Chains A and B, each alone.
Chain A
Amino acid sequence: AAGVIQSPRHLIKEKRETATLKCYPIPRHDTVYWYQQGPGQDPQFLISFYEKMQSDKGSIPDRFSAQQFSDYHSELNMSSLELGDSALYFCASSLVGQGLSSGYTFGSGTRLTVV
């Protein structure tokens, strides 16, 4: 079965550079979530989109922005990167009405390293 696809799997950037992370949800899923997981930390919610509109916002820095496109894929744009942004970034998708009983399906993540 198709899963949540994230690209790239690994990304190395220098401080103050910009990074773009992509997420392709499960087909027909209408909601996308972004989480940040630091080393040894639990995933922290960043932002979510339902039907291409922002539905909730968590602890996302102002340097980060995200959007969901007409084909439901989502991109997380990160500017002025800092060392502390090094983390695993997960995308998850769900279908409203089924999201909770079936859980959200997570991708394998993008590991961002800022040097």
Chain B
Amino acid sequence: QKEVEQDPGPLSVPEGAIVSLNCTYSNSAFQYFMWYRQYSRKGPELLMYTYSSGNKEDGRFTAQVDKSSKYISLFIRDSQPSDSATYLCAMNGGTSYGKLTFGQGTILTVHP
């Protein structure tokens, strides 16, 4: 079993929809949680970073962490065609130079 499981999708939504992306994890040592966006043939780009349980909002994006359930989510409001990409959740055990463990990624398509 993978340490991080991510709903694989793919997801296809109309422009303006609210998108929900989810990951669960099994390793209690994970302390830092990130969401990356990856466009085709590009490297992952950091979208959101969270540490504590709760919500963190940045523009149209909201990251949610529930450590008791080992569950994280990313919500995208008012989705745009430019949001079409692969979204990867990633986690780290807390060391400042530690590796990231990624989920499998969810392919999102927002159609006009």
- A interface with B by C-beta (< 8 Å): 4, 31, 33, 41-45, 48, 50, 55-56, 58, 90, 92, 94, 96-97, 99-109, 111
B residues near A50, Cβ cutoff 8 Å: 97
Is B92 within 8 A of A100, CB to CB?
A: yes
**What are the interface flags for B25-59 relative to A under an 8 Å C-beta threshold, 1 for contact and 0 otherwise?**
00000001010100001111110010100000000
- B interface with A by C-beta (< 8 Å): 6, 32, 34, 36, 41-46, 49, 51, 88, 92, 96-105
A residues near B99, Cβ cutoff 8 Å: 33, 45, 48, 56, 58
Q: Chain B at the A interface: mostly helix, strand, loop or mixed?
A: loop
Closest chain A CB from B1 CB (angstroms): 14
In the bound complex, CA of A4 to CA of B103 (Å): 23
Q: Which of B32, B41, B88, B105 contacts A108 (CB 8 A)?
A: B41
